[in-house]
Structure 1
Amino acid sequence: MKRLSLLLAAFLPLAALAHEGHVHGPGETEAIATGPVVLSEEAIKNLGVQTVEANLAPLQRTIAMIGRIEGLPERLAKIAPRAEGRVAEIFVKLGDRVTAGQPMLRFEPRTVGNPPVILNSPINGFVVRQEASLGQALNPDTVLMEVADYSQVLARGMTFESPDLSLIKPGQNARVRLDVFPARLFEGKVQRLDVGLERESRTFEVYVLLDNPELQLRPNMQASVAIAIGDPQEVLAVPQRAVLGDLGNLFVFVRDGNTFERRNVVIGMKAGDQVEIVEGVLPGDNVVTEAQYQLQFATSPAKKAEAVESHGEDGHAHGSEKSEHKHMPTWLWALGGFVIGGVVFGLLLRRGRSEEAEVR
Structure 2
Amino acid sequence: MNKTLLMSALLLALGAGGGYWAAKQTGDGATAKEKTPLYWVNPMDPRDKRDGPAKDNMGMDFIPVYEEKQGGSPGTVTISPEIQQNLGVRLAKVEKLSVHQQIETVGYVGYDEDRLEAVNARMAGWIRTLAIKSEGQQVAKGALLYELYAPDLVNAQHEYLLALNTANPLLLRAAEGKLKSLQVPSDQIAALKRTRQVRETIGIYAPSSGYVSELKVREGQYVEPAAALFNIGTLKQVWVSAEVFERQAAQLKVGDPVTMTLDYAPGRSWQGKVDYLYPTLDAATRTLKVRLRFANPDEFLKPNMFAKVSIRTGQGEPRLVVPSEAVIRTGSQDRLVLALGDGSFKSVAVTLGPQFGDKVAIREGVEAGDSIVRSAQFLLDSESAIDSDFQRMTAVRPAEVWTQGEIQGITLANRTLTVSHQPIPEWQWPAMEMEFTVADGVDMSKLTEGQTLHLQVMQEGDEYRITNIHQEKAPATDGDAKPAANEMEKMEGMDPSQHEMGAKP
**Which of these two proteins has the greater Rg computed from alpha carbons?**
2
TM-score (norm: length of structure 2): 0.34
Higher relative contact order (CA 8 A, sep 6+): 1
TM-score (norm: length of structure 1): 0.47
